Structure 1
Amino acid sequence: MTDHLARTLGITALLACCGVVQAAPLLSGGVWMNYRYITDSDFQGVGVSDDFDRKTGGTLGDPALILYANDQGQYGSTRFAAEVRAGKGSFTDPDNNGTGDYLAFKEAWVGRELDNGMLVRVGKMAVPFGYKTVNFWPGDLLQGGYGDQMDVGVGLEGTHDTLHYALAYLHADDFGETSTDTMDDNGHWGQATCNSATTGDCDLAYRKMQTVAGTLDWQFLENHTLGLSVQSGRLQDLAATEDQSPTAIERSARLSGRHHAVDLHYSYRADPWLIQARHIEVQRELPGRSEKVRNHRQSLSAGYTRNDWFWYLDLTSAATRTRGNDTDRVYAWAPGVRYDYGPGWVYLEYLWSDGDIGRDGDIYAADFRALYATVDFYF
């Protein structure tokens, strides 16, 4: 999506210099769809089972319509941006988002650029913490919960000499009173509902709240950047508000949990190469558990561009320090290639993992391998 907006701005500048147009359209859109073939899986059910795909030859689906809005510099120092998605390929969970459907905002914010270049904004925006993986469909892998984060709050960011800084207060991870869905990186920050008859289910009924996050990046050499990110906040207990059965556990919808994370990251960007590395330390005190969740994650991403092709690889690992969790270190990696065919891209990607990140923010062991082929276009 960032590539699409950059392309739109570039075309606009070219046309403007020739006197063809004065400004780009404020609205644009796109469509994507995906083919998936699961080769190995420890999970059962449609969409996660290898048996199903072996019998059917895979699945072509997960379409999404994406609409974008951007100020394009037409309102002086006022800035705004929005992205809304509809369809099963929207990377949103109706059971845990604010709409109850495959329809949600990826981002929606408005702000002002000050005279010193600092941007102040309010709405749903990127959490200033680390970086995202470079793949498309496989997602954040073992960065889960700390990759492509989009939360609701107020923030500021700016640049001074070789330093780039950003600070935000994020009141919740999404719009609404019980949503735990940050769209692309969902399923790692609790769940909106629970059933007290299922052991441990209500321990996962929480959401991220009242978080302060910040990042400081230092370009210490040309093309080389070193950064530190931190975030700390509270966790709201959703069990009592959602489970009204006679056997509901006695808990109130209070901010009784906490979360903390620190991220050290490095990036090298110089055509045609991209290299990124990060280390994350995670701690959560869930409202329904006495034991703290503790783990650490590592990630290495690399990419190479040649003409209309972009080859890339994401490597991630994670290990738990949570008392009672005996899971060994787990790994996940995703190689891929992307081709720019004009109005969009074609992607071919593979996902291999022997573990993942649960709703409690801790790791668990499970094998999963899948091939993905995706096509998109933008207008």
Structure 2
Amino acid sequence: MKKVHLSLAIAAISASAVPAVASESISGGFWLNHAIDAQNESVDEVSYGDTNYEALILYIDKTDEKTGWQFSSEMRYGTGAFTDPANNNTGAHFGFHKAWVGKTFGKGELKIGKSQVPFGWATVNFWPGDELLGGYADQMDVGVKWSADLGAVNYDVAYFHVDDFGSSTETMDDGGHWGSTTTYQKTQTFVLNGAYDLAEKQKVGASYQNGKLRDLSGANADRPYVGEHNAAVVYYEGEFNNLGVKAQYMITERDLTDIGGFSGAPKIKNDRKAVTLTYSMGDYLFYVDYTNAEANTKGNTVGSADSWAPGVSYNYGPGWFYLEYVSNDGDIGEDGEVVDGDYDALYLTMDYYF
């Protein structure tokens, strides 16, 4: 039986309600979510939902004009921060989505801290998340990254020591696709990304990441680095007047065989595919995200899973309204494996930024 969600996110906050600050580099936002969760096919049996997933977002961005060093951060507070207290570093519904210090050197930029992992591209739809790209789209890890733009070629070279601060495995927005504080943690990951501009507003690229997995299960008090992970993706992005097209093909692998709780399990292998089409009309953006995950793990009986996420957003000035529908027949587990799932979701959201 399918699970149906109807979510209404209503957000409003006035700049006059915020104390005046001297720096224009401080800004923020707020969102709130009302969800109706129908466990049965009959809408009459639901309780008309709960109002939750509220979040206050604080952005602080600053450039020291004298030295050229920059700071950029995003802090979220509330259940809508999309972080799991059981697996994050704060033990509550707040944390840093990003927090990095950087500086430009010639045509390149160095970033130190928690920043975007340069790997393929992310989907458009926000509330449902990255669907079957789970764990390989909106990745924000802690480490050092060098990015450079050399005309038609741009590239990134990065080393991420951990996926979040401390022993956290919940980086925000990743949906719990990289273990937990009682299983394993993504660590010591090297990432390479390169893209080439085929023409104006068209590019092709490829990314690769390889790293270790640390055993947090308690099976070994030393919490050894006994697992490995790697993934590669090729992608395309293009814009043709009002039409946008993105596509990518990804292969992933995780070796958890020596991590407590996974001992003896086969290596997790699967392919991910994604296509996004967008069409802009003034302040409106129409889009369709399609993602697919195909299991190549020995013994996996799920096979393939698909996700469709059509939607439309409207830029009303201080924020956006979203109307989104999601239909999935599978999911990605915390071990990166393709699992069964069946649900439909309709989301009507609004956010406000100041």
**In the alignment, which residue of structure 2 is the partner of 1:266?**
236
Counterpart of 2:30 in structure 1: which amino acid? V
**In the alignment, which residue of structure 1 is the partner of 2:152?**
162
Within 5 Å, which residues of 2 pair with 1:43-192? 54-71=45-62, 74=65, 77-114=68-105, 116-176=106-166, 178-192=167-181
Q: Which segments of 5 or more consecutive residues in structure 1 lack a partner in the other structure?
A: 1-22, 42-48, 194-204, 241-248
1:220 is aligned to 2:193: no
Asked whether the 8 Å contact 2:185–2:213 carries over to 1, the reply is yes
How much has 1:117 moved relative to structure 2?
2.1
Within 5 Å, which residues of 2 pair with 1:298-313? 298-313=273-288
CA distance in 2 between partners of 1:207 and 1:50 (Å):
39
How much has 1:52 moved relative to structure 2?
9.3
**1:113-140 CA distance string (max 9 Å, x none):** 01x2200110000001111101111110
**1:7-44 CA distance string (max 9 Å, x none):** xxxxxxxxxxxxxxxx97010000012233446x7xxx
What is the SS of the residue equivalent to 2:81?
Answer: coil
Counterpart of 1:264 in structure 2: which amino acid? V
CA spacing shift, 1:233–1:374, aligned 2, 3 Å: same
CA spacing shift, 1:271–1:38, aligned 2, 3 Å: farther
**In the alignment, which residue of structure 1 is the partner of 2:328?**
353
CA distance in 2 between partners of 1:25 and 1:366 (Å):
45
CA distance in 1 between partners of 2:288 and 2:33 (Å):
19
Asked whether the 8 Å contact 1:124–1:152 carries over to 2, the reply is yes
Q: Which segments of 5 or more consecutive residues in structure 2 lack a partner in the other structure?
A: 1-21
**In the alignment, which residue of structure 2 is the partner of 1:279?**
249
What is the SS of the residue equivalent to 1:89?
Answer: helix
CA spacing shift, 1:191–1:51, aligned 2, 3 Å: farther
Give TM-score, length-normalised by structure 2: 0.88
More displaced stretch, 283-292 vs 155-164: 283-292
Counterpart of 2:76 in structure 1: which amino acid? R
Asked whether the 8 Å contact 1:53–1:59 carries over to 2, the reply is no
Asked whether the 8 Å contact 1:35–1:374 carries over to 2, the reply is no
**In the alignment, which residue of structure 2 is the partner of 1:211?**
189
- Structure having the larger proportion of residues in strand: 2
Paired residues in the alignment total: 328
What is the SS of the residue equivalent to 1:185?
Answer: coil
Counterpart of 1:228 in structure 2: which amino acid? A
CA distance in 2 between partners of 1:74 and 1:33 (Å):
37
1:364 is aligned to 2:343: no
**In the alignment, which residue of structure 2 is the partner of 1:339?**
314
CA distance in 2 between partners of 1:260 and 1:166 (Å):
17
How much has 1:141 moved relative to structure 2?
0.3
Asked whether the 8 Å contact 1:218–1:225 carries over to 2, the reply is yes
How much has 1:251 moved relative to structure 2?
6.8
1:28 is aligned to 2:27: yes
State percent identity of aligned pairs.
Answer: 41
What is the SS of the residue equivalent to 1:191?
Answer: coil
Asked whether the 8 Å contact 1:34–1:372 carries over to 2, the reply is no
What is the SS of the residue equivalent to 1:94?
Answer: coil
CA spacing shift, 1:231–1:141, aligned 2, 3 Å: same
- Structure having the larger proportion of residues in helix: 1
**In the alignment, which residue of structure 2 is the partner of 1:230?**
208
